[in-house]
């Protein structure tokens, strides 16, 4: 099966023009098929502040009201997405910017919660892998902003990690998928304060063991639970770590960061 | 040859949510292949004002400085484009939002002018009709925002009429193209104050005649000169008028508005 990389970057790269530029230059030369997913970052919060829209948080989660939805649609779907695409094009990478609404590739609904109204936040119902494959087969490199739609005309703010995971699962029918989560640490650490304590490989048994022992940092648990879930749903492997290291891992085939692998397939 | 419609709408529709909604509903049911091109409108000017960016005009033309470029990238490429796509999807039209940077479909350069620095304004060098056709053949309906890129990483604010014209010319190799310019009048008028004086059909000889006689309003002349130029470059026909009338023209095959036809082809 042909390989594909689905790479997610967040605010720590998006918000830093130099890091972003270096990242995009490296991303452009990754051989084979690939998809980029980006979140937003400080730019959206800064614009909200300037416009006098105060951020609303419930239990540490941002609530997306109508004005905030406009801001993220502008910033994620417009400013960040189009500048990333233009920069990738300058590096001869044939990028095309997308949201879940484009081509109806990611179908979602407004989050339903018994107590909390999260506002215009999307939970994903389905990814149309076949439609996405039209772009991949056409030689394009999809760049997804963290936005979906409700199929009734409304855009929805959607977690970028989740989008990357769902795209990877949907593409597993056609490709050997590797999901690449770039974040601020070098990988899953044995000791949270020691960047040299990266766990190089983690299978589910070892993970459950380390989780019970309290070795895995609390903040990493949802990320890793979700990552292992993607492996159960067809994703071939997940790598987690610093962007620079992970892109090196891909081009040099020498894993820096933490590698999670799924059950061996028959 | 298969037909395709390239339809351009401007601020008079974009700025009016009800008209936009009606337009998109009607656009969704146009049979066959189609492309939508939208300009911006008041939304970008309003956001600029709120952000304290004052519009700069030279000889009545807006100059796009770095801050204004950010605003149009957000508003045209993000807010308007993604909401149009989401609404078309709600009407079962498989729209995909694009700028010239996406897929490198429209290659442009920053305008060079001996006296005036227009800022980040794009003049089009080339449209890649074959790449655009990948989307059309894939069953997608491209929705273009009035943005291109310089192939060196910078987005460029670009006239929506020109984008529509260049797309139509590029697609003329593959399709029988009809370029549809929606604007505030019912068509080209014999008498500027009389909406009932629409000239139904106009060929180039008649146009030159009316122009010399001073019948054609000055403001219409660049639009019509450009329209006739597209006919020389392969476009099959151009229709100009009110959006509602033109969509009716297409679905009912009964032209309201002004029809310009090119030289009869062998």
CB under 8 Å to B158, separation ≥6 — which residues?
B100, B106, B108, B121, B122, B123, B124, B146, B147, B148
The SS3 of residue A79 is: helix
User: Which residues are bridge partners to A8 per DSSP?
Assistant: A37, A181
Which CATH number describes the domain made up of A3-261?
3.40.1160.10
Which pLDDT tens digit goes with each residue over A225-259? 999 999 999 999 999 999 988 888 788 877 789 99
Helix, coil or strand: residue B111? coil
From first to last of the 266 residues of chain A, give the pLDDT tens digit.
999 999 999 999 999 999 999 999 999 999 999 999 998 878 998 999 999 998 777 776 678 999 999 999 999 999 999 999 999 999 999 999 999 999 999 999 999 989 888 999 999 999 999 999 999 999 999 999 999 999 999 999 999 999 999 999 999 999 999 999 999 999 999 988 888 899 999 999 999 999 999 888 888 898 899 999 999 999 999 999 999 888 887 888 777 899 998 765 54
Candidate from A87, A96, A104 with C-beta closest to B153: A87
- Which residues of A are annotated binding-site positions for substrate? 40-41, 62, 157
Residue B19 CA, chain-centre distance (Å), reads: 17
Domain B3-182 has CATH 3.40.50.720: no
Tokens standing for A105?
């590739």
Q: Does the distance separating the beta carbons of A94 and B97 come in below 8 Å?
A: no
Beta bridge partners of A9: A38
Q: State the nearest Cα–Cα gap between B114 and chain A, in angstroms.
A: 26
How far CA A68 is from CA of A52, A54, A78, B43, B230, in Å, comes to 11, 9, 14, 16, 42
Structure tokens belonging to residue A24:
């995009």
Distance in Å, alpha carbon of A207 to nearest chain B alpha carbon = 40
CB contact under 8 A, A78 and B81: yes
How far does A12 lie from chain B, in Å, by closest CA? 21
SS3 assignment, position B9 = strand
Question: Are residues A89 and A95 in contact, defined by beta-carbon separation less than 8 angstroms?
Answer: yes
Whether residue B107 lies within 8 A of chain A, CB to CB, comes out as no
At residue A56, φ and ψ (nearest 5 deg) are -110, 125
CATH 3.40.1160.10 residue ranges for chain B: 3-182
Contacts of A81 in chain B (CB under 8 A): 77-78
Per-residue model confidence (pLDDT) at position B266: 40
Per-residue DSSP letter, B103: G
Question: B93: which chain A residues are within 8 Å (Cβ-Cβ)?
Answer: none
């Amino acid at each position: 099966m042909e390989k594909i990389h689905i790479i997610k970057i967040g605010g720590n790269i998006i918000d830093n023009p130099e890091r972003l530029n270096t990242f995009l230059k490296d991303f452009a030369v990754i051989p084979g098929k690939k998809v980029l997913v980006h979140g937003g970052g400080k730019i959206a919060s800064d614009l909200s502040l300037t416009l006098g829209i105060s951020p609303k948080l419930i239990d540490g989660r941002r609530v997306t009201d109508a004005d905030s939805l406009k801001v993220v649609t502008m910033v994620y779907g417009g400013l960040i997405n189009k500048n990333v695409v233009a920069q990738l094009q300058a590096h001869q990478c044939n990028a095309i910017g997308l949201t879940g609404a484009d081509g109806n590739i990611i179908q979602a609904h407004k989050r339903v919660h018994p107590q909390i109204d999260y506002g215009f936040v999307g939970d994903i119902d389905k990814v149309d892998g076949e439609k996405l494959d039209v772009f991949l087969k056409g030689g394009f490199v999809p760049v997804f902003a963290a936005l979906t739609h409700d199929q009734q005309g409304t855009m929805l703010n959607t977690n970028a990690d989740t989008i990357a995971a769902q795209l990877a699962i949907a593409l597993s029918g056609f490709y050997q998928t590797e999901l690449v989560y770039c974040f601020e640490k070098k990988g899953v650490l044995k000791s949270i304060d020691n960047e040299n304590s990266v766990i190089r490989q983690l299978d589910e048994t070892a993970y459950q063991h380390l989780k019970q022992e309290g070795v895995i940092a609390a903040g990493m648990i949802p990320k890793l639970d979700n990552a292992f879930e993607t492996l159960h749903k067809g994703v071939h492997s997940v790598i987690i770590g610093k962007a620079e290291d992970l892109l090196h891992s891909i081009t040099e085939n020498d894993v820096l960061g933490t590698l999670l692998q799924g059950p061996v397939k028959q």
